[in-house]
Amino acid sequence: MIAWGGVLLAAPVNLVVTIAALPMEPVHLSARGVAGLLYIAVVSQFMGVVVWYRGMALMGIVRASQLQLMQPLLTLVWTVLLLAEPLPDPAGRP
């Protein structure tokens, strides 16, 4: 499976970075924190990949890639409509 293959390939680098970062930011595990991490790992990441590839198989790779190209714009539109986020000024004025 491609999702777990990437995790295994990145594991040595992640391990080195984690060991280097632990003295600077100690970990305080809690049941809620571990549950959140497991949710992100299983539901958000792994199941998201499974659903995405199933969707590509159903709609075709060309249509799915076009949908993926629209994601940044759709994200901006949904944040404005659902979360009432203000649009940034193109000129950079506050």
Low-confidence ranges of the chain (pLDDT < 50): none
Write down the pLDDT at residue 3: 65
Beta carbons within 10 angstroms of residue 3's beta carbon: 13
Length, in residues, of the chain: 94
pTM for this predicted structure: 0.46
What is d(CA 87, CA 94) in angstroms, rounded to the nearest whole number?
11
What is d(CA 38, CA 80) in angstroms, rounded to the nearest whole number?
30
Q: Longest Cα pair distance anywhere in the chain, in angstroms?
A: 48
